[in-house]
Amino acid sequence: MKYDPYIHHRRSIRLKGYDYSQAGAYFVTICTHNHECIFGEIIHGQMALNDAGRVVQTVWVDLPNHYPNIELDEYVVMPNHVHGIIVIVVGPDFKPAHVVGAGFKPAPTTTRPDFKPAPTTRHGLPEIVRACKTFSARRINQMRGMPGAKLWQRNYYEHIIRNENELNRIRKYIINNPMKWDLNRKNPNRNHQ
């Protein structure tokens, strides 16, 4: 089918006018292309990573070495997706949530219709997620002997974490995700109860 911008356009799921490089915590979910289960399997409620899953985990954990303005919180690599919390740290007054005794500063959600990001060297969430997807896909495709193959879905899901209660709820969701795999809608073999 020939490209038709009225049919093939992609709407952004991002919050319009929001600066995704500002300080705050973001819950991210990245899914494999066609929800293919290629990172391992769930065995007795625990994720057993295979080689591809270990690559994804290594790339995820290494992100702060490439983006010094971020810190990582809870994450899990699942058979066909990754859940994680990325904390963007900007300015001397921001204290990350995982530091004992520190308060949690949620991502502000005010937007401006005239928003234009200021030129800066800090890296935003879209670039960080893109890097994770690119680095891991390149390595996994090399392992599989499939250079250029699609590994990830084109987009990703993100949620701006607004307060400490929400942060704790999302942390719990991430931690419990492997135990609830049988009911997960991303599981192609889920139990439909």
Q: What integer pLDDT is reported at residue 49 of this predicted model?
A: 98
Beta bridge partner(s), residue 46 = 43
Domain boundaries, the chain: 24-108+121-180
Can you tell me the distance from the alpha carbon of 159 to that of 175, in angstroms, rounded to the nearest whole number? 17
Per the CB < 8 A criterion, the answer to whether 74 and 172 are in contact is no
* Diameter over CA atoms, the chain: 57
Split the chain (193 residues) into runs of 10 and give each run's mean pLDDT.
48 56 90 96 96 98 94 97 93 46 43 47 85 97 94 93 95 95 78 53
Q: What integer pLDDT is reported at residue 188 of this predicted model?
A: 77
Q: What integer pLDDT is reported at residue 71 of this predicted model?
A: 95
CA 115 to the chain's CA centroid: 24
pTM of the model: 0.75
What's domain 24-108+121-180's architecture?
2-Layer Sandwich (3.30)
Q: What integer pLDDT is reported at residue 113 of this predicted model?
A: 55
Can you tell me the distance from the alpha carbon of 91 to that of 134, in angstroms, rounded to the nearest whole number? 28
- Provide the Cα torsion 4, 133, 31, 17; round to 10°: -60
Q: What integer pLDDT is reported at residue 2 of this predicted model?
A: 57
